[in-house]
Structure 1
């Protein structure tokens, strides 16, 4: 008997890592499964391989269509709560949030090759089969992708739970106490803050660069919004994050990118209610 739920979970990381959106990934999976069911009376030697190839190419086509309608407004990928990755095994293949942001620098084909090679450990022969290409083309696309990404290994650094908790506590305490010196010690000099409010929420600033500018904005946001909110430490795409709540309603989420020197080099603030809705369901 065909188990929709099992295949949906299995295919989700492939679609999400290319599209960066839960709803778009689910749509791509639904289209793939519908097509597969309609072909079940035909001989498909390897259903799993067929479904992977189909969902990846469906996701690529969907992403290509989206690229034609690029907005000038800063848009972050939709975050996924990965606190339960040890139990929900399909979440383990979700790429880190920092890497997901960087992947938007790539062409769709470069992104697909990079994801299949680095996240799923596909060989170039297997990638060529999925993309109806050649191993040589796959190698060239991966090489170009790595040049554009420069140092993608840094984006996969994951702190242990205890250390992450300590780090986020230091950050939150420094803000409450307005301790600029403590914040300076946590940040790189060229730290970047990116905020995405979508079409519905106006943020104070979309992009902020530099230690002093970011600290100034952090204090302003805290005074205006966060001082009366409750917080919860969570993991977003395997990275440390803080969820902020207004009367038990998730209002925003900050994802922290931390380098090998244990300094925060990027803070991604998701305020868009549409991108927060799936996190809210998982952490409520």
Structure 2
């Protein structure tokens, strides 16, 4: 019976942690502890487990924040191609939003996710976090203030339009056509690459249409020309998976403006530890 909660609890843990493995570990710990816990006074089992997962996720996120990272860190991608058929996938945060939420502290992130993602009231959030309504309101206000300084609006999620744009993107890359590529990018495009500790990347961070287009063509020519590319949706945003045979080597997630169909952000995940839950 408790295993039925795995899918229900996953979006809560993952949206806070940005890691599939950490989310699964957190949920497993909570469920294991619940089995041996005294059940007196627990009137709503689901609410109790959600509360436990959220608070344990906050603690885990705080611990990870104490580690010094001298490189780009990107969330672990989750395939959401089948989100229409799966409730727990529908609740997964967009890739762009997960990146932006790295600017929040774990409690701000939890409040923002519960209020904006799951529709919790401030009274319910206060109960989950063992705080007050006023604290919840202040945390949400701070979170929105930080995010408003960084976000550009909701990205494009239409699969048909996105697939057509990425088809043009790949064509420009294969031809080494800088001009055609730049026509697809926004002027202030941002590029990130996360190879973790196992893969050296050509460049971890790059901005600006000229520098990013030059970098993309260089990387494609030197490292990606032999790959086959597969279009998919990752965290509700268009993405390309890089395969050599059946082995997955990379995942590139694109944030595309719905206003002018320009690519605003490219997030490239090359860390094999973050790709092991994906693939064919």
Partner in structure 2 of residue 254 of structure 1 = 252
| Cα deviation, residue 73, structure 1 | 1.5
Query: Among 214, 226, 229, which residue is 2:227 paired with?
Result: 229
Partner in structure 2 of residue 165 of structure 1 = 163
Partner in structure 2 of residue 266 of structure 1 = 265
Moved more, 155-164 or 74-83: 155-164
The CA RMSD measured in Å over matched residues stands at 1.4
Distance (whole Å) between structure 1 residues aligned to residue 45 and residue 154 of structure 2: 31
Once the two structures are superposed, what CA deviation does each residue of 1:225-267 show, in whole Å capped at 9, x if it has no partner?
Answer: 1111101001110000000111221001110011232211110
Partner in structure 1 of residue 102 of structure 2 = 104
Distance (whole Å) between structure 2 residues aligned to residue 155 and residue 30 of structure 1: 35
Distance (whole Å) between structure 2 residues aligned to residue 232 and residue 151 of structure 1: 33
Number of residue-to-residue matches in the alignment: 279
SS in 2 for 1:86: helix
SS in 2 for 1:8: helix
Partner in structure 1 of residue 58 of structure 2 = 60
> How has the CA–CA distance of structure 1 residues 16 and 155 changed in structure 2, closer, same or farther, with 3 Å as cutoff?
farther
Spell out the pairing of 1:2-81 with structure 2 (5 A cutoff).
2-4=1-3, 6-39=4-37, 41-81=39-79
| Cα deviation, residue 88, structure 1 | 2.1
Distance (whole Å) between structure 1 residues aligned to residue 236 and residue 268 of structure 2: 16
> Which sections of structure 1, spanning at least 5 residues, go unmatched?
none
- TM-score when normalising by structure 1: 0.95
**Are residues 1:84 and 2:68 paired?**
no
Query: Among 211, 214, 217, which residue is 1:216 paired with?
Result: 214
Moved >6 Å (runs of 4+)? none
Moved more, 174-183 or 140-149: 174-183
Partner in structure 1 of residue 181 of structure 2 = 183
| Cα deviation, residue 151, structure 1 | 6.3
- TM-score when normalising by structure 2: 0.96
SS in 1 for 2:164: helix
> Which sections of structure 2, spanning at least 5 residues, go unmatched?
none
| Cα deviation, residue 89, structure 1 | 1.6
Once the two structures are superposed, what CA deviation does each residue of 1:86-108 show, in whole Å capped at 9, x if it has no partner?
Answer: 12220000000000001010111
Partner in structure 2 of residue 130 of structure 1 = 128
Q: Is the CA contact (8 Å cut-off) linking 1:158 and 1:239 kept in structure 2?
A: yes
Spell out the pairing of 1:236-251 with structure 2 (5 A cutoff).
236-251=234-249
Partner in structure 2 of residue 276 of structure 1 = 275
> How has the CA–CA distance of structure 1 residues 174 and 268 changed in structure 2, closer, same or farther, with 3 Å as cutoff?
same
| Cα deviation, residue 41, structure 1 | 4.5
Moved more, 177-186 or 269-278: 177-186
